[in-house]
Amino acid sequence: MKVLFPFLAVIILAGLAFIGVEGLRLHVLFGVVIPYLAALIFIVGVISRVVRWGRSPVPFRIPTTCGQQKSLPWIKHNRLENPSNTLEVIGRMALEVLLFRSLFRNTQTELRDGPHLAHGSEKWLWLGALAFHWSFLTVLIRHLRLFMEPIPSMLSLISSLDGFLQVGAPVVYLTGVVLPAAATFLLFRRISKPQISYISLPADYFPLFLIIGIAVSGILMRYFTKVDVVSIKALTIGMLHFKPVIPTGAGIIFYIHLLLVSILLAYFPFSKLMHSGGVFFSPARNMANNNRRQRHINPWDYPVKVHTYQEYEDDFREKMIKVGIPVEKD
């Protein structure tokens, strides 16, 4: 049921767009009001979470490491796994954000007959996650051309690289194939593996179904139905200038696509998708591990009267000597 409910939710959302546009003619609601509201929720939600993360105090150095810390000169230091300064932290973060380095080292564990514990590589997860995130980012960048006039040369270059195979007319983009395939792989893996399915929640499935729905509706618009791109661009540019113009030749698939994108935007700040920004605020990764070179004192500590050993010995020296406990002063 935790898989069926998110799937039905996406189907219902698509049905609402169909009924609202085709049946009730609510073009303004689904083409202007809902996207504006979703963008507002996204901006306010992301800013509030980032501000809350930024204001969260981190009194201790708690980086997670799996390499040798910087120590004596003759001990080899692992600069990326155990960074000791800001530059090494940047290198570690760059590899994590761009290449998912920690996920590359991920392993799977199984209890097999014997019984004995078996460990194996899990590179397919790393490859699927890398393909999904990079293709999703490329699709977002390509869609920026709908909000810009004239189109920057960099966006044109990215679009040409994405469609360099020149398969068919219109050109088949690689990301148009990789994105739904990678999202389907991640969804199938979450459903098929009992250990992962057991700990998964509806909130883990809903974004995947939503992204698959967005990808499928985008593919339908590009390759199977006629969509007036000029009128859609007029709508997007008009919305940027707060003068939206309802497109005349958009079609129902466009409104379904736009509603699913709007739901994803509004859902983003309150979901696990915020890991895309939260990784930069993780004290387990954004801190240098220099605990051996520098003493870090908790700023929350308040003055506390202590009873030193010297004071303790002054109080009980005679009794300690009588029972044979060694003392520092006779």
pLDDT tens, position by position, 77-90: 999 889 999 999 99
pTM of the model: 0.86
Tokens 């004596």 label which residue? Answer: 72
Burial (0-12, 13-18, 19+ Cβ within 10 Å), 172? middle
Q: What are phi and psi of 229, to 5 degrees?
A: -65, -35
Taking the C-alpha atoms of residue 144 and residue 138, their distance in angstroms, rounded to an integer, is: 10
CATH homologous superfamily of 4-303 equals Transmembrane di-heme cytochromes, Chain C (1.20.950.20)
Name 186's Cβ contacts closer than 8 Å, sequence gap at least 6.
Answer: 128, 129, 132, 208
Q: Specify which residues 117 forms β-bridges with.
A: 111
pLDDT tens, position by position, 110-160: 777 778 887 777 889 999 999 999 999 999 999 999 998 888 899 988 988
**So what's the pLDDT on residue 226?**
77
